Amino acid sequence: MNTRNRPGRHTGAQSGASRSPYGLGTAAGLLQARPRPAALAPQGLASDPGVALNPACSTDAGRPCRHPLTNAVENQRLLAHELAVKGSFDAIVPVLKRIAGLQHEVDFTERAQAIAREDLGFELPAQILADAWVAGLDMRTLYGECVMRTLRLMAKQAQLSNPQQDTDEAVAFFLDSGYHAVDISPCSDGRLKGLVRYILRLPDGAVRSKKSYAGAMFDVDANVKRWIETELMRYREGRPVTADAGTRYLKVAVYHWSSSEPTHEGCAAHGSNVTAAAEAGLNRLIEFRRAIENSFCCGASVDTLLIGVDTDTDAIKLHVPDAAGETNLYRFIDNIELYRASVNDDASSARLKVYRAIQAASATTGWGAGNGEPHEGMRRLIASLLINNLSQIEYVCGNWGGRYPDIGHAERFISVGDGFEEFQLRNLVYFAHLHTVEEGAPDMDVGIKIFSNLNVRHGLPVPVAIHFRYDSRVPGCRERTVERCRRVRAAIETRYGELSRPGLLVCAMTVQDKRPGSSIESVEESGASAARGEP
């Protein structure tokens, strides 16, 4: 057993404001006082349309927001990463426009490749350039190739520049809070793609699973299977703790809405109805919990947590469970309100307000009433997530005036299959988790609808990156995974034939070993697959 993760090892005095809040302790005195505030009236989950330009900052005019609990150094690092990755994808269209104007030049191929190497970081497919003199450049195919090559290039750079920092400490914090595994299912909307790394500020390796589904409507059966695998690993290997450690499995569902355009830019899978999105996420959590408790005896249980995200500001709305683990849609903490209330405080006062907000939510009466406070581990986890998210609220305040300029969809490609763990950025990719197109049709249909507006209406194809992971320890697993890629590609091209036939759908296939840090391997369109280097 890893003694680094023993309970209590990482707890202690409250840290300074610049440190990430993993292992954040809760003073006993702060959790005993339970003032009962007035009932929180059931309110709509959209902000007032008359809100100021910066919906979070409440400092004096002309003074920037500086919350005492935010991590400014991490904000700078994440901004540099976001600008670098998105800038690489956004450079594709200007570069292709420039190249398109040169296609009748005598030295077109050489000049085009020089431009691509300098501005995109890779060379273009030589055959497409060589055939341009016949019927002009095949811009749709060229665009799709550029997106996929940029994807592989950025993934490779992300592996080198983003090591798994703080993972052990975060896992230890989860264990100290009573959780041996954390499984998150957000909506597949691209605006939530940065959920773990940015919005919640958690190391990727600390989360057991993070699979996205349209409307956060995760597959209950598949999630029960994942729970079984996790528990079997505890029984057989004692990882991360043994089966008698008294910890639980935490399942999190994440829905979203837009405070600026609540009826148009919310969750497409639920018709931009935030109440429907929240209720659907909660119902899935209830079904998952009941499935575990009904199917397995001897204390088998899970904790559940429902989180909402305003994709305009990245502020979370965290629904606080009661002592029985039950969740109520009207018992929550709106973190943007907590940010406003504590931005002018010192670190100690701001941290105290976080805990008091948990107490106040737990004491909600009326529609949001529950059966007491959640257990101490859940309270500590909630406090940590709220504090982490304060950094993200300030990240949006400092860089975009409190609200993203792209409040709607602006994804660059659709990811199908297991997804790319290397990409954790808002509005970069729409993710459709599936094993077959038939079972994942709702997710794919939503993605195609989004890209029909983003790309197809402008004559650009829909880039679809089909990506599955294999286990190199299992004989023949890679070959079977490659065949799955080809079956999924054929099914996608058949289902969306009206886009595929005129070249408005471009699919690329890749596979990757499940081992951390494994490289992404391209799959040839026909014949034997091969891992090839960067073009």
Q: What's the pLDDT tens digit per position in 376-386?
A: 999 999 999 99
**How confident is the model at residue 243, as a pLDDT?**
86
**How confident is the model at residue 261, as a pLDDT?**
92
Instruction: Compute how many other C-beta atoms are within 10 angstroms of the C-beta atom of residue 431.
Output: 32
> Is residue 164 predicted with pLDDT exceeding 80?
no
Task: Specify whether 418 is catalytic.
Answer: no
% of the chain with per-residue pLDDT over 70: 85
Judge if the upstream peptide bond of residue 475 is cis by omega within 30 degrees of 0. Answer: no
What ranges do the domains of the chain cover?
75-145, 165-400, 411-522
**How confident is the model at residue 18, as a pLDDT?**
38
Q: How far apart are CA 284 and CA 20, in angstroms?
A: 31
User: Which amino acid is residue 467, in one-letter code?
Assistant: H
**How confident is the model at residue 41, as a pLDDT?**
29
**How confident is the model at residue 162, as a pLDDT?**
55
Two tokens at 218? 């995760």
**How confident is the model at residue 248, as a pLDDT?**
93
Two tokens at 371? 């059966």
Closest CA relative to residue 84, chosen from 7, 162, 5, 201: 162
pLDDT grade for 160, boundaries at 50, 70 and 90: low
Two tokens at 318? 């965290």
> Is residue 298 predicted with pLDDT exceeding 80?
no
**How confident is the model at residue 431, as a pLDDT?**
86
**How confident is the model at residue 165, as a pLDDT?**
56
**How confident is the model at residue 420, as a pLDDT?**
83
Average pLDDT over residues 524-533: 48
Give the CATH architecture of domain 165-400. 3-Layer(aba) Sandwich (3.40)
% of the chain with per-residue pLDDT over 90: 65
**How confident is the model at residue 510, as a pLDDT?**
93
Q: What's the pLDDT tens digit per position in 441-467?
A: 888 898 999 999 999 999 999 999 999
Angle, CA 182 vertex, CA 423 and CA 29 arms, to 5°: 120
**How confident is the model at residue 296, as a pLDDT?**
87
Average pLDDT over residues 293-300: 78
> Is residue 471 predicted with pLDDT exceeding 90?
yes
Region 75-145: CATH code: 1.20.120.1310
Average pLDDT over residues 275-285: 97
Q: What is the mean pLDDT of the chain?
A: 84
Q: How far apart are CA 305 and CA 379, in angstroms?
A: 11
Range of weakest confidence among 42-46, 264-268, 295-299: 42-46
Query: In this structure, what DSSP letter does residue 87 have?
Result: H
pLDDT grade for 61, boundaries at 50, 70 and 90: low
User: Which amino acid is residue 444, in one-letter code?
Assistant: M
- Residue position matching structure tokens 């700078």: 76
> Is residue 478 predicted with pLDDT exceeding 60?
yes
**How confident is the model at residue 501, as a pLDDT?**
94
**How confident is the model at residue 453, as a pLDDT?**
93
**How confident is the model at residue 15, as a pLDDT?**
35
Selected residue with higher pLDDT from 133 and 47:
133
Closest CA relative to residue 164, chosen from 519, 517, 423, 418: 517
**How confident is the model at residue 268, as a pLDDT?**
87
Region 411-522: CATH code: 3.30.1330.140
User: Which amino acid is residue 301, in one-letter code?
Assistant: S
**How confident is the model at residue 326, as a pLDDT?**
95
Two tokens at 113? 């490749």
Q: What's the pLDDT tens digit per position in 208-236?
A: 888 888 899 999 999 999 999 999 999 99
Q: What's the pLDDT tens digit per position in 321-342?
A: 999 999 999 999 999 999 999 9
Catalytic one among 189, 310, 322, 513?
189
Partners of residue 19 on adjacent β-strands:
none
pLDDT grade for 4, boundaries at 50, 70 and 90: very low
> Is residue 507 predicted with pLDDT exceeding 80?
yes
Average pLDDT over residues 162-180: 81
pLDDT grade for 156, boundaries at 50, 70 and 90: confident
Query: In this structure, what DSSP letter does residue 213 have?
Result: B
**How confident is the model at residue 51, as a pLDDT?**
46
Angle, CA 433 vertex, CA 428 and CA 438 arms, to 5°: 130
Q: Are 202 and 196 in contact (CB under 8 A)?
A: yes
pLDDT grade for 480, boundaries at 50, 70 and 90: very high
Average pLDDT over residues 466-484: 94
Residues with Cβ < 8 Å from 180, sequence gap 6 or more?
A: 174, 230, 234, 240, 241, 245, 247, 248, 249
Partners of residue 183 on adjacent β-strands:
209, 251
Angle, CA 373 vertex, CA 45 and CA 37 arms, to 5°: 60
User: Which amino acid is residue 184, in one-letter code?
Assistant: I
> Is residue 294 predicted with pLDDT exceeding 50?
yes
**How confident is the model at residue 175, as a pLDDT?**
92
> Is residue 528 predicted with pLDDT exceeding 90?
no
Residues with Cβ < 8 Å from 517, sequence gap 6 or more?
A: 159
**How confident is the model at residue 22, as a pLDDT?**
37
Q: Are 69 and 390 in contact (CB under 8 A)?
A: yes
Q: What's the pLDDT tens digit per position in 260-269?
A: 999 999 998 8
This prediction has a pTM of 0.84
**How confident is the model at residue 371, as a pLDDT?**
92
**How confident is the model at residue 412, as a pLDDT?**
92
Q: How far apart are CA 26 and CA 496, in angstroms?
A: 53
**How confident is the model at residue 1, as a pLDDT?**
36
